[in-house]
Amino acid sequence: MFENNRILLNLKKKLKINTPRVEGIVKKSNKGFGFLEINSKNSYFIPPKKIKKVMHGDKIIARIGFSKNREIVIPEKLVEPFLNTFVGRLQKINKKLFIIPDYPFLKEFIPCNFLLKDKLSYESGDWFLAKLTKHKLKDNNVFHAEIIKFISKKKDPFTQWFVTLTKHGLKSSEPKCKIKKNILFDENFKKRKDLTHLNFITIDSNNTQDIDDAVFIKKVENDCLELTVAISDVTSYVNYNSELDIIASKRGFTNYLPGFNIPMLPRFLSENLCSLQPYEKRPVLACTMIISKNGKIKKNSNFFLAWIKSHGKLSYKNVSDFLEKKSFWKPLNKKIEEQILLLYDFCISRIKWRKKNSLIFPDRNEYKFNLSKNCEILNISIEKRRIAHKIIEECMISANFIAANTLFKNKCLGLYNNHSGFDLSGANQISLLLIKKKIFINSKELLTLKGFCNLYRILENKKYKYLNSRIRRFQSFSEISFNPHPHYALGFKRYATWTSPIRKYGDLINHRFLKSMIFNKKPIFLKNDILQKISNQKRKHRLSEREIQDFLYIKYFKTKNLKNLIFNAEIFEVSKGGIRAKLLENGANIFIPNSFIHNIRSELDFNKEEGLIFINGKIFYKISDIIKVNLIDIRIDTKNIIAKPIIKLK
């Protein structure tokens, strides 16, 4: 009777039109439940039958309704799918092909077909790049994908590396480009100074092959030192706007990952022709500077092109052991020994000067994964910055400092590294924090380079560890620009890197600017989009490195059966969900759920902004605390290491 009633149909249509809609992001739990998150405070339940039409992360419009006296939403329109081009594992079921996306909350088996010709050689578990072509919310209730690129066989020991790199749009092999061997594009090579007779040395890790820098130092009058920093002249082989230059500009950096690296330039250049290998004549861009006894760099520095030969490939370990008298290693001859001792004097004087007049990087441990050929984790070692690291660091920082000032004074274009310190809002909040500790630096001072440096010299005191951790959260990020501004984190008015052109395209750009200054030529005009490209690539490299590290930590803890062992950990983040901390023994990040902190939830209070956890109104944990933890669970799907606190140490 009512089946084809026009009045009733029109009424239903009208009611549907007037029903309120909301837009949000789909969030699925591990148990399959789903919600539409409108903002940080509001979300709606999606019924189990309807959640199957969407994926975790989809941006949708949904209709609000009611079920069992509960407000729900019904997905109606797809605004933006979470998946577009994605990485996944192939699965063959009853001669049908499916691809499973590589995301923790995506469990869908998406039907797929190949766009590749040799599909018969692939098997379940192999990894591919795919593109979502159909979505259930708009394509007749169907998900579908097309496989567009092979990534890795499931049995390849480097599968996770290839998957991660592909996910972030990064290359997994060196550039393929035809190179004319031993041909210098630089038309000014005849004007190079011949410094091959000087005792230049290089100091790097034992396994470093792409050697950018060499140094030579000597005593001069008035107890001063003259340091020459020689940097591989990559632009003599990589001509502007050539095929190789375009490839390098797109890659931006050499990608250093545990187990292997992917060079920005072909290895024939990066590890051979451009590398400052011992006893090989190489073209360089060099800078000479005079350093007074108190560590100040004098103003008569200059840049020039030269030929050099490295007279010794030294390692950080051996040089540090020699200076710290921790082994029987000695330099090959007295001339190299003299270089090491003079470089040590230079380093100490520069550190003293920078502590007083700028800022020094705090010493932080780095953690190294030592892998077998099959990517098995042998161990995780702590890499401390020793004296040889500091020597080379001071040489390069000094050279970069001079480059920035030289380009600026000669009114030349330059690619500068800027760091703006705090913004006005942050400075105001920091000033209030300081007053509580009886440190009187007002917000106006904090916005100046001098005030910023004074603050961090005060915060070096260990009693301000918590305050230091809080204040660092207000700091801006460094950025690159063609306009020079202060680098607050270093304490310099200007800073421009040029000392790693084999590994960083931005440094290669500055080589071209410095050369245009040397030969009084107009610099090559560059579009501003190169800055965004370099920044984007840097971000991608960091994300890929972090993802590989997370994978290796999970694998390490699973393989070594480290569950239930006790570790020291430093808290670096507090949230409503719990605590994030770093294990000091190996660098792994852990998560402590709030249920493990205190068993009565109503007595717990989290202050994320201040990095504090209260129990019954009293501060119990804070960021920078060192605590003992017991590992409870290793979750492979979400790459989380779950821990439980035992006792707070300090």
pLDDT at position 126 is: 95
- Asked if residue 560 has pLDDT above 90, the reply is no
Q: b/e for 318-357, b at 16 or more Cβ within 10 A?
A: bbbbbbeeeeeeebeeeebeebbebbbbbbebbbebbeee
Domain with CATH 2.40.50.140 in the chain: 19-80, 561-648
Burial class for 62, CB neighbours closer than 10 Å (0-12, 13-18, 19+): buried
Fold classification of 85-155 (topology level): OB fold (Dihydrolipoamide Acetyltransferase, E2P) (2.40.50)
Dihedral (C-alpha) 405, 491, 444, 433: value to the nearest 10 degrees? Answer: 160
Greater pLDDT, 31 or 462? 462
Tens of pLDDT, residue by residue over 339-370, are 999 999 999 999 999 999 999 988 888 999 99
122 compared with 353, residue with greater pLDDT? 353
Question: Rounded to whole angstroms, how far apart are CA atoms 54 and 132?
Answer: 13
Which pLDDT tens digit goes with each residue over 567-618?
Answer: 999 999 999 889 999 999 999 999 999 999 988 888 899 999 999 999 999 9
Selecting among 204, 245, 321, 507, the annotated active-site residue is 204
Among residues 213, 245, 507, 625, the one annotated as catalytic is: 213
Q: Are 310 and 195 in contact (CB under 8 A)?
A: no
Write down the pLDDT at residue 573.
95
Question: 230 falls in which pLDDT band (50, 70, 90)?
Answer: very high
Rounded CA gap, 357 and 349, in Å?
12
Exactly one of 44, 126, 192, 210 is catalytic; name it: 210
Our answer to whether residue 625 is catalytic in this structure is no
Tell me how crowded residue 197 is: count the other CB atoms within 10 A of its CB.
9
Whether 321 sits among the annotated catalytic residues: the reply is no
Give residue 1's pLDDT.
Answer: 46
Instruction: Report pLDDT for 174.
Output: 94
Selecting among 212, 233, 245, 507, the annotated active-site residue is 212
Q: How far is CA 644 from CA 229, 463, 561, 618, 632, in A?
A: 50, 27, 17, 20, 7
Q: Which amino acid is present at 208?
A: T
Active-site residue, from 494, 503, 505, 512:
503
Looking at residue 565, its pLDDT comes to 83
Q: Which band of pLDDT confidence, cut at 50, 70 and 90, is reported for residue 419? A: very high
Mind listing the pLDDT tens digit for each residue in 480-509?
999 999 999 999 999 999 999 999 999 999
Look at residue 189 in the predicted model and tell me its pLDDT.
58
User: pLDDT tens-digit profile of 49-98?
Assistant: 899 999 999 999 999 988 877 889 999 999 999 999 999 999 999 889 99
Mean pLDDT of the chain: 91
Judge contact between 396 and 411, C-beta under 8 A: no
* Catalytic residue (one of 316, 367, 416, 621): 316
pTM over 0.85: yes
pLDDT above 80 (res 647): no
**Residue 256: pLDDT above 50?**
yes
Say whether pLDDT at 100 is over 60. yes
210 is catalytic: yes
Closest CA to 508 of 231, 192, 189, 235: 235
pLDDT at 493 (0 to 100): 96
Fold of 19-80: OB fold (Dihydrolipoamide Acetyltransferase, E2P) (2.40.50)
Q: Provide the residue type at 62 as one letter.
A: A
Alpha carbons within 13 A on the beta-carbon side of 429: 14
pLDDT in the model for residue 311? 96
**Range list of H helices, 198-269:** 243-251, 267-268
Give the model's pLDDT for residue 535: 96
The more confidently predicted of residues 542 and 189 is 542
Dist. CA 590–CA 611, nearest whole Å: 16
For 378-416, how does the pLDDT look when each residue is reduced to its tens digit (9 = 90+)? Answer: 999 998 899 999 999 999 999 999 999 999 998 888 999
For the segment 416-441, the average pLDDT, to the nearest whole number, is 94
Q: Using the 8-state DSSP alphabet, how is residue 373 labeled?
A: T
Task: Read off the pLDDT of residues 195-212 as tens digits, 9 standing for 90 and up.
Answer: 999 999 999 999 999 999
- Given this model, what pLDDT does residue 415 score? 96
Residue 637 catalytic? no
Residues of each domain in the chain carrying CATH 2.40.50.640:
85-155
Tell how strand 260-262 and strand 366-371 pair up.
unpaired
- Kindly state the DSSP code that residue 523 receives in the 8-state scheme: P
Q: 147-181: b or e for each residue (b if 16 or more CB lie within 10 Å)? A: beebbbeeeeeebbbbbbbbbbebebebbebebee
Q: What is the mean pLDDT of residues 451-465?
A: 94
Domain 561-648 has what CATH class?
mainly beta
204 a catalytic residue: yes
